[in-house]
Amino acid sequence: MFKNSVIIIFFLLIITSCKSTKNTTGNIAHLSAKNIIKKNDKAGFNRSSIKASLSIKYKGKTNLPSMNGSMRMVKDSVIWISLSKLGFPVAKLMITPKDVKFYEKVSKTYFSGNYKIISDLLGSEFNFEMVQNVFLGEPLFHLKNEKYKVKIRENSYNLAPKSENPLLDLFFLIDPVTFKLVKEEFNFAEKGQNLTILYKDFNKIDESLFPKGFVIKAADKKNQTIIDVNYRNVIFDVEMGFPFKIPNGYKLIKIK
């Protein structure tokens, strides 16, 4: 039971006393979608590496007590996560543009494979950049690659594609002050699946905006899974290692 919950957390993630940037304005300027996208792109995360502590809560078929973790990331290169429970290390994850690997100590098992498993679980094609964007608070898709219509919704700019897709309905909410992502939602009508990523405001850390945390909700016709992630002790552009070695004797697992 614990093993399965750790696996789900890994693949759905694949997610201080600093000043908050929460939007409190009631007056939102009417901007074109092209202008909003340009400002969102300009506000994009531009540091080379991140080191942070994590707290994670999981609710799904099996509820899991809160877990703590450590995340290290070199942008466009590697994401490394170590998870612990009650102060004891229980699992490690290593994601690169080429592959996904992890091992967990409770059942002494490991996984090594590509992004197909993530794509199958979330109902859409995923790659390293998309997984990275979840952690950074960036849109999953490049907004410049599509034409959007815009309206004011939930005190934010709502961007939705001009061209309707019968297989996928999606939208992005952009903050009118910081132009950072507030929320993105993807509905796969044919599969009856929904994926929502909600960001918990952004902190200004060393002149860069970084999310306080995020909530992922993945649902189908039968089940709903919620991953709640909070960041602590976030620092940028420091040297760090990525220790990862699958212990001898661990059993390879296959995830359907």
Top pLDDT among 237 and 20 is at: 237
Structural contact between residues 142 and 6, judged by C-beta atoms closer than 8 angstroms = no
For the chain, strand residue ranges (E) read 19-20, 49-59, 64-74, 78-85, 88-95, 100-104, 109-113, 148-153, 156-161, 169-174, 181-188, 193-199, 202-205, 208-211, 213-219, 224-236, 251-252
pLDDT, residue 120, reads 63
What's the mean pLDDT in 22-42?
84
Least confident residue range of 37-51, 60-74, 109-123, 151-165: 109-123
**Residue 220 pLDDT exceeds 80:** yes
Question: What's residue 232's pLDDT?
Answer: 95
pLDDT at 9 over 60: no
Please choose, from the candidates 52, 54, 36, 3, the residue with its C-alpha nearest in 3D space to the C-alpha of residue 205.
52
CB 56 within 8 A of CB 67: yes
- Highest-pLDDT range among 52-66, 117-131, 187-201: 187-201
Mean pLDDT of 243-249: 95
pTM here is 0.84
126-151 average pLDDT score? 93
Region 176-188: what's the mean pLDDT? 95
Asked if pLDDT for residue 89 goes beyond 70, the answer is yes
- With a cut of 50, say whether residue 16 has pLDDT above it: no
pLDDT tens per residue across span 233-244: 999 999 999 999
The span from the CA of 12 to the CA of 230, in Å, is: 15
Note the pLDDT of residue 252.
Answer: 92
**pLDDT bucket at 202, cuts 50 / 70 / 90:** very high
- In order of their start, the domains of the chain are 2-16+31-238 (2.50.20.10)
The runs of H, that is alpha helices, within 80-180 are: 116-122, 128-136
Specify the higher pLDDT residue, 52 or 116: 52
What pLDDT sits at residue 109? 94
> What is the CB neighbour count within 10 angstroms for residue 173?
19
